[in-house]
């Protein structure tokens, strides 16, 4: 038994030793360099490339690296250097590699010295770009195919590099696939380099494939909501030539309905028939539906209205009607309100029906007013322009001593808003323009015809050179607003249709809606005529090392409200300075403004940009 025990122990020892022989030792990084690497290359782009990507760098901290292995690595480094430089267009560099080994008993590290003169960069001397299509000879798309050849990015006389070559090929393909030819391909490409003369001759051959037109929209993943209604709202131009931008617009319109949490559109090119010069291809919309109902709770703070609590409710399919509904309860110190808005999906023309109701208790200058506003009409929201025409009923019941009488009115209205900013949430250039026009009559306490007009304008103009520290430009922000209600003198217009000014978005330096007209007993009240304007200079600054998100502003605002178009219009002026922070949800504004009429300084806080 003892023999077998010893034999088993011997076999186990042999097997363990064999396993050790079968396992290849792996070198691991020690964190300590094995050799010193010195790279001196001209020009600077060659130096940066070799320092970042030279294969030899990977072995500097490799555990157990022997001198003979280092010698072998140096022998293949020449090839690696030449391959890297070729990507920049240097095909005949001069490369010198030296290894300096210290004495074996020295603690000094071996030194690998690399001297590189990249030489002359190759230049493009010939470009041959061909675009073939089943529609050759046809006018449709011929200019686009010619534009690929005419606008080829890598022109004769330009330096050659792999990045520029790959970018030019990709740009040519993108220009074809963006319109008419989504299945275009790069068939062949070739770059012939003469290393002796540093010349590059380029060839690229594209095939457009068939001209594609939009087919019908197919919705996948939708069960709860009206697919036919969404299709109308999407307004896919069936039969028109394919454009990538059109597909993105359709996707945006579907997402804007609020019925989906996600929308992804693809052209069903795998269903295309073969051998045709022109085809119509269906579009597949893969959607994930939003919940039938959604509640959103919010808190906020404004120097105009104080702390705010809001509850928003969305119902995406009102029972019995099929419309969507958005309701809101807002609680704050100055204007608590309850509102609801019902609206249909847009039709084929993009217009939809809507109706709304709003109950509000508002602080209007020296009076409190309970008000009701009801409206119904049609609207159209496009990428940059919103339009509405509607009937509106207003009822205002002022509260307080010597308050005006309770009054009501009905009016027909049209509104138009155009937004042409470079960024909808934090613009730095562009403009916005809006106007509203209403014609109606008061109903109580007596009937009197009236008109109401309101216009708004905002403009951002970049100025000067880019700042040396932030690499951003300053800008001038201009804002103007004007409104007028015309009716016979003494007519009781509902207070909610009159104008007030002052506050964060009108005339800073004055409290919210503190600029108004005066009654016979010197009470402040909304006026029939209003003017307001602002000039603001915004410049980038560096704050706490952040170069991208902070700005400093100086501004001057002015405004006036009166019951007479020219007489008795007092101009209220405010001026000050502030800070802007580009937060993830829009600009956060903090301004200190001095009101010249009140001779007081006020703090104004505001989050987000709206027009």
Residue 220 CB: number of other CB atoms within 10 A?
10
Phi, psi of 469 (to 5 degrees): -85, -45
Q: Please name the residues in contact with 69: beta carbons below 8 A apart, sequence gap of 6 or more.
A: none
Q: Is residue 591 a contact partner of residue 576, using CB atoms and an 8 Å limit?
A: yes
DSSP H helices, 185-241, are: 227-234
Question: How far, rounded to the nearest angstrom, does the alpha carbon of residue 326 sit from its chain's CA centroid?
Answer: 25
Q: Give the single-character DSSP code of 550.
A: E
In CATH terms, the fold of domain 36-117 is Ubiquitin-like (UB roll) (3.10.20)
- Cα separation, 110 vs 97, in Å, equals 13
DSSP 3-state of 161: coil
What confidence tens digit (pLDDT) does each residue in 274-321 have? Answer: 878 899 999 999 999 999 999 999 987 777 777 889 999 999 999 999
Fold match, 123-207 / 211-289: yes
271 band by pLDDT with thresholds 50, 70 and 90: confident
Q: Does the structure show a pLDDT above 50 at 194? A: yes
The residues spanned by each domain of the chain are: 36-117, 123-207, 211-289, 407-607
- Cα separation, 473 vs 465, in Å, equals 6
Q: Does the structure show a pLDDT above 60 at 29? A: no
pLDDT value of residue 136: 64
| Cβ neighbourhood burial of 21 (10 Å; 0-12, 13-18, 19+) | exposed
What's the average model confidence in pLDDT over 164-184? 93
pTM tops 0.85, yes or no: no
554-583 b/e (C-beta count within 10 Å ≥ 16 → b)? ebbbbbbbbbeeeeebeebbbbbebebebe
What confidence tens digit (pLDDT) does each residue in 409-434 have? Answer: 999 999 999 999 998 888 999 999 99
Q: Are strands 211-220 and 260-267 parallel, antiparallel or unpaired?
A: unpaired
Distances (CA, A) of 401 to 240, 366, 372, 445, 573: 66, 10, 21, 19, 30
In CATH terms, the fold of domain 211-289 is Ubiquitin-like (UB roll) (3.10.20)
Q: Which of 389, 317, 386 is nearest to 353 (CA)?
A: 389
pLDDT value of residue 367: 87
Q: Please name the residues in contact with 586: beta carbons below 8 A apart, sequence gap of 6 or more.
A: 425, 426, 607, 608, 609
Q: Which helix (H) or strand (E) holds 52?
A: helix 44-53
- In this structure, is the dihedral angle defined by the CA atoms of residues 216, 222, 223 and 228, taken in order, positive or negative? negative
- Please calculate the CA angle 508-510-511 and round it to the nearest 5 degrees: 110
- Look at 34 and 398; give whichever has higher pLDDT: 398
Average pLDDT, rounded, for the chain: 89
Q: Which of 553, 533, 384, 560 is nearest to 457 (CA)?
A: 533
Q: What percentage of the chain exceeds 90 in pLDDT?
A: 66
pLDDT value of residue 141: 62
In CATH terms, the fold of domain 407-607 is Porin (2.40.160)
CATH code for the part of the protein at 123-207: 3.10.20.310
- Please calculate the CA angle 107-113-119 and round it to the nearest 5 degrees: 175
């Amino acid at each position: 038994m003892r023999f077998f025990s010893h034999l088993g122990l011997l076999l186990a020892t042999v097997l363990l030793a064999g396993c050790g022989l079968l396992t290849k030792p792996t070198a691991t990084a020690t964190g300590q360099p094995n050799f010193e690497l010195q790279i001196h290359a001209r020009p600077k782009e060659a130096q940066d490339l070799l320092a970042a990507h030279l294969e030899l760098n990977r072995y500097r901290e490799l555990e157990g690296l022997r001198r003979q292995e280092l010698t072998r690595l140096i022998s293949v480094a020449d090839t690696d250097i030449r391959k890297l430089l070729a990507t920049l267009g240097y095909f005949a560099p001069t490369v010198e590699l030296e290894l300096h080994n210290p004495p074996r008993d020295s603690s000094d590290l071996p030194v690998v010295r690399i001297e590189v003169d990249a030489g002359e960069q190759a230049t493009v001397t010939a470009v041959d770009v061909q675009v073939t299509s089943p529609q050759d000879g046809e006018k449709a798309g011929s200019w686009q195919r010619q534009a690929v050849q005419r606008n080829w990015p890598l022109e004769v006389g330009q330096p050659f590099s792999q990045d520029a070559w790959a970018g030019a090929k990709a740009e040519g393909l993108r220009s074809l696939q963006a319109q008419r030819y989504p299945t275009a391909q790069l068939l062949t490409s070739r770059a012939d380099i003469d290393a002796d003369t540093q010349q590059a001759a380029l060839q690229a051959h594209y095939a457009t494939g068939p001209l594609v037109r939009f087919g019908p929209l197919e919705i996948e993943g939708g069960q709860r909501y009206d697919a036919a209604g969404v299709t109308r709202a999407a307004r896919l131009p069936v039969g028109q030539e394919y454009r990538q931008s059109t597909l993105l617009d359709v996707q945006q319109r579907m997402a804007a309905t609020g019925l989906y949490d996600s929308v992804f559109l693809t052209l069903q090119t795998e269903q295309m028939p073969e051998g045709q010069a022109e085809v119509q291809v269906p579009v597949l919309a893969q959607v994930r539906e939003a919940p039938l109902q959604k509640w959103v709770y919010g808190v906020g703070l404004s120097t105009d209205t104080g702390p705010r609590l809001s509850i928003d409710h969305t119902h995406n399919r009102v029972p019995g009607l099929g419309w969507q509904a958005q309701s809101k309860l807002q609680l704050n110190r100055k204007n608590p309100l309850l509102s609801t808005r019902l609206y249909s999906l847009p039709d084929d023309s993009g217009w939809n029906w809507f109706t709304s109701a709003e109950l509000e208790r508002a602080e209007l200058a020296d009076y409190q007013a309970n008000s009701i506003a009801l409206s119904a009409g049609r609207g159209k929201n496009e990428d940059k322009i919103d339009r509405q025409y509607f009937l509106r009923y207003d009822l205002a019941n002022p509260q307080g001593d010597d308050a005006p009488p309770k009054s009501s009115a009905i009016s027909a209205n049209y509104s138009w808003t155009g937004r042409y900013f470079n960024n909808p949430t934090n613009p730095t250039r562009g403009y916005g323009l809006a106007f509203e026009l209403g014609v109606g009559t008061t109903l109580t306490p007596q009937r009197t015809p009236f008109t109401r007009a309101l216009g708004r304008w905002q403009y951002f103009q970049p100025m000067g050179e880019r700042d040396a520290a932030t690499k951003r430009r300053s800008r001038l922000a201009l804002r103007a607003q004007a409104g007028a209600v015309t009716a016979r003198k003494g007519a009781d217009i509902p207070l909610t249709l009159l104008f007030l000014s002052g506050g964060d978005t009108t005339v800073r330096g004055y409290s919210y809606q503190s600029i108004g007209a005066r009654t016979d007993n010197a009470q402040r009240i909304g006026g029939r005529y209003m003017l307001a304007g602002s000039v603001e200079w915004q410049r980038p600054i560096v704050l706490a090392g952040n170069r991208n998100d902070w700005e400093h502003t100086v501004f001057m605002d002015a405004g006036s409200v009166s019951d007479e178009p020219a007489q008795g219009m007092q101009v209220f002026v405010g001026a000050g300075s502030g800070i802007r922070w580009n937060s993830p949800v829009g600009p956060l504004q903090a301004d200190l403004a001095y009101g010249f009429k009140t001779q007081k300084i006020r703090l104004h806080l505001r989050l987000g940009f709206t027009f």
